[in-house]
Amino acid sequence: MRNAVRFIAVCALVLSLATPAMAKTPGDKLARGIANIATGILEVPQTIGQEWKESNNAAVGIFAGFFKGMVQAVIRTGSGVWDVLTFPAAIPKDYEPLYHPDYVFDETQPDKTGSK
């Protein structure tokens, strides 16, 4: 029974990652919050990869990416907690997220022309 509940929770989490970028309903905000709580720690490896690519020295990129990723993970997880606790209310306006992008693996860096 526990395995079935875990399987359903994981499926719900995966499906919630496919929601539109901006939450339009309290349910969307709740799903985004749960997803960000569960995946916030993934900011660390993602940021390490980004810093590694941008740095001339791989060791510096890994070191800087780790600490920058830890900060972003705390912020994203905190934003998820906020979304879960306040999902019935349109706070901020129209259920927008506190932290952008909405999810860990959304487009994070604009291209060189400045557009996403």
Instruction: Please report the pLDDT score of residue 32 as a whole number.
Output: 94
Give the model's pLDDT for residue 51. 93
- Per-residue pLDDT at 115: 42
- What pLDDT, on the 0 to 100 scale, is given for residue 105? 84
Domain membership flag for residue 100: no
From CA 31, how far away is CA 95, in angstroms rounded? 12
CA distance 9 to 102: 20
Q: Which residues of 27-42 are buried (b: 16+ CB within 10 A; e: fewer)?
A: ebbbbbbbbbbbbbeb
Q: Sort residue 19 into left (φ over 0), alpha (ψ -120 to 50) or beta.
A: beta
Does residue 52 fall inside a structural domain?
yes
Q: Tell whether the model's pLDDT for residue 3 goes beyond 50.
A: yes
**Residue given tokens 């990723």 in the structure block:** 69
User: Is 37 part of a structural domain of the chain?
Assistant: yes
- For residue 38, which amino acid is it? A
Q: How far apart are CA 114 and CA 10, in angstroms?
A: 35
Domain count, the chain: 1
Task: Report residue 23's pLDDT band, with 50, 70 and 90 as the boundaries.
Answer: low
Average pLDDT value for residue range 92-113: 74
What range does the domain containing 83 cover? 2-95
